[in-house]
Amino acid sequence: MEKLERLIVNTEEVVTIEELRAVLTKPSPKAYIGFEPSGVVHLGWKICTNKIKDFLTCGFDFTVLLADWHAYINDKLGGDLERIKLCGRYMQDCFAAMGVDTSKIRFVYASDYVNDAKYWELVLRTAKATSVARVKRAMDIMGRGEEEAEKDLSKLFYPAMQVSDIFYLNLDVAYGGTDQRHAHMLARDVAKKIEQPIPVAIHTPLLTSLQAGGRMNPIEAKMSKSKPESMISIHDTPDEVKMKLSKAYCPEKQVEGNPVLEICKFVIFPDLDGKPFLIQRPEKFGGNLEFTTYEALADAFIAGLHPLDLKNATANNINTILAPVHSFFERHPQNYNKMRVAGIIL
């Protein structure tokens, strides 16, 4: 697979393809993704870790920003920076557990550079190059509404800091879920005004909540660790995965807005590595089925494949994906156990 094709597979948006093609001519282009350390990691991370692996395969110098000061501004983990940093160390373990070669990526904390005057110069220059109204529109990157800034001024700093992170790290590509689009588009606009390199923006989809019920706003409907019933934690046992899938929204013959099929498309099929997606059924119900492409599975569902058969097969595949994750944390339990003692993971 060519580098460009690899980087755009399973993406929602690339701004722009031509700019990305130019970036790929560089000997060691730079990309990043930013995370607020804020709690347990869920299955949606598989989309991100798969894409990070694609960046590494394509020769990128890749940075994971563990945005501890941003999490503080966003009131995560009670605004306790020590708990936030502990969560950051746990998240580093999660990347390794999910198969990312962590020796090939750089983990950076915002606290590593907040004492650098050059960073705050970028924050101020970014703030000078945009408006309060534009910054407020970008606040959905925090999961916050515009009204939040009326009672807490620091919330307005967040988008300017995220844009400045991109400039400070001297990135060619800003990568994230579709919920980060406003910040990345703001960075592209500001870059033109303050003579910074314009970053390519790559966005992958957000996994829909298991109980989404076809809600229209994908950011509101995404899996969230704040709603445990809506998501599959990477620490869920096989029985817990089966139970959650059994209750998932999965209307007959409906593909759009179906969280079970989304998991198949964006999490399971990229991991099958040539093996078929197997649906096991008694002979009296038609016997076993095998699918080598997601499109074939979706067509079968439209044609009448029973939701329960799909859910059972999806649960089995998720448990296969999570088995090495569980094994990793059995061998490296320290940060995970500290998270449990701190009450961050229940």
What is residue 79's predicted lDDT score, i.e. its pLDDT?
A: 94
Query: Is residue 260 a contact partner of residue 308, using CB atoms and an 8 Å limit?
Result: no
What's the rounded Cα separation, in Å, for the pair 43 and 233? 6
> Is 185 in the same domain as 318?
no
Mean pLDDT over the full length of the chain: 93
> Is 288 in the same domain as 176?
no
Last residue of a domain, one of 145, 172, 204: 204
Strands (E), the chain: 13-15, 30-35, 61-66, 105-109, 173-177, 200-204, 277-279, 289-291
Report the predicted TM-score, pTM, of the whole model to 2 decimal places: 0.93
Nearest partner of 93 among 41, 31, 46, judged by Cα? 41
> Is 264 in the same domain as 159?
no
> Is 179 in the same domain as 234?
no
> Is 132 in the same domain as 279?
no
**Number of domains the chain is built from:** 2
3-state secondary structure at position 150: helix
Q: Is residue 211 part of a domain?
A: no
Q: What would the pLDDT profile of 154-186 be if each residue is shown by its tens digit? A: 999 999 999 999 999 999 999 999 999 999 999
What is residue 239's predicted lDDT score, i.e. its pLDDT?
A: 97
> Is 52 in the same domain as 176?
yes
Q: What would the pLDDT profile of 60-84 be if each residue is shown by its tens digit? A: 999 999 999 999 999 999 999 999 9
> Is 256 in the same domain as 292?
yes
> Is 59 in the same domain as 162?
yes
Q: Is residue 213 part of a domain?
A: no
**Domain residue limits at 255:** 228-341
User: At 61, which CATH number?
Assistant: 3.40.50.620
Q: What would the pLDDT profile of 210-220 be if each residue is shown by its tens digit? A: 987 545 555 55
Query: Is residue 241 a contact partner of residue 315, using CB atoms and an 8 Å limit?
Result: yes
| Torsions phi, psi for 35 (to 5 deg) | -130, 140
